[in-house]
Amino acid sequence: MSDERKVQEILARYVRATDRRDGKTQGALFTDDAIVQIFVKTGPSSYEPFGEPLLGGAGVEYAVDNFMAPHPDGGSSHHTTSDHIIDINGDDAHLNAQFVVFEVRAEMRPADGWPANAFGSQGTVRPIESGYYDTDLRRIDGEWKIVAHSVLMDMPIAVGGA
């Protein structure tokens, strides 16, 4: 497998761990000294930091396990990434990709079965977040790890009215 594909696969594993709310798996993708920062868009091409940076894989694991809301019954999320731009320079790599997060809400099957007129998927899927991942990686002992990860959100984030 090419280095470009290996780097792209790290992002694929990252978004799947996010969707599963699996902090341990997500944290393992980062070095111990990695820095992760969320940014919110403040203008056509400007961003400002949101919150404090997360430090290392342990910080990422803790954040996923303690700050991400669990999915409700019948609920999940689905991250998609596209337009990956990957630059490899020896044991260093840079990855930039667009993302969209979809909220998935499945209808619960009625105890007596679906109505006779029911057809197709039962539930809703709607986009809830978008932006860019801007990520630096380093090959350490033959394995690519994230050393810096910026999440560039297209919209503001509100937490408890703040």
Which residue, chain included where needed, has tokens 């109505």? 115
Which residue, chain included where needed, has tokens 């594993």? 13
pLDDT tens per residue across span 90-122: 999 999 999 999 999 999 998 998 888 989 889
Domain 3-112+130-153 has CATH 3.40.50.10190: no
Q: Where are the alpha helices (DSSP H) in the chain?
A: 3-20, 23-27, 56-67
Q: Are 37 and 53 in contact (CB under 8 A)?
A: yes
Query: Would you place residue 83 in the very low, low, confident or very high pLDDT band (cuts 50, 70, 90)?
Result: very high
Q: Looking at the DSSP assignment, which residues form a beta bridge with residue 130? A: 100
Element containing residue 51 per DSSP (H, E): strand 46-55
Q: Looking at the DSSP assignment, which residues form a beta bridge with residue 103? A: 77, 126
Spell out the domain ranges in the chain.
3-112+130-153
Answering whether pTM is above 0.85, one says yes
